[in-house]
Chains A and B, each alone.
Chain A
Amino acid sequence: DAKTTQPNSMESNEEEPVHLPCNHSTISGTDYIHWYRQLPSQGPEYVIHGLTSNVNNRMASLAIAEDRKSSTLILHRATLRDAAVYYCILRDGLTGGGNKLTFGTGTQLKVEL
């Protein structure tokens, strides 16, 4: 699986937008970009995924660079409940990466009042 690089930690104030970056310079043409997050003492949960175009859902938006070598997860209004570790993961669209998710160390997001 192609690798991703994320900052170790980021901080935000409540009700402000948060942009979480991810670099994936070795991404292949069939790789999907997935984001998961893990709240304290819980299992990871799916946030969003995309291939080429920007994507929106009720949780977040995903902005994908034109060359696909980077992407940004956008939380439009951070709340204290968004404090979590956010993981950016590439999944091969042809094989599914053997069906496993390869988690890196992710970005610890801290949200303050």
Chain B
Amino acid sequence: DVKVTQSSRYLVKRTGEKVFLECVQDMDHENMFWYRQDPGLGLRLIYFSYDVKMKEKGDIPEGYSVSREKKERFSLILESASTNQTSMYLCASSTLAGGTDTQYFGPGTRLTVL
């Protein structure tokens, strides 16, 4: 079975802190994604990566950066956390591009910024 793991299920940080969210997949997938999920807004794509050291902005990249130094690991960085970044963060991975690819999601990290 494909496994996507995220470093923490719950995280509490203070405004202004630098926050790292880690995601690891074990299926040698080329593509990795970071989404955030908020009530009433659904899932929104923050960044994705289709190869090591490659990244592309999603719909809401402001306030975030990413790092992909190894194929299996994709990190989301909040340079200076703010209260409006309190959310559920979901990582996903997939192989192939095109209409038939399947994304596999991690369990999510619920981040609270105080």
Contact = CB atoms under 8 A, between A and B. Distances in A.
Are chains A and B native binding partners rather than an unrelated pairing?
yes
Nearest to B110: A41
A98 B94 CA distance: 13
Interface residues of B, number: 28
Nearest to B40: A105
Interface residues of A, number: 27
A100 interface: yes
A7 interface: no
B17 to A, nearest CB: 25
A49 B94 CA distance: 15
> Which residue among A31, A36, A94, A96 has the maximum number of chain B CB atoms within 10 Å of its CB?
A96
Interface string B59-91: 100000000000000000000000000000011
Interface of B: 4, 31, 33, 40, 42-43, 45, 48, 50, 56, 58-59, 90-92, 94, 97-108
Interface of A: 30-32, 36, 41-46, 49, 51, 91-101, 103-106
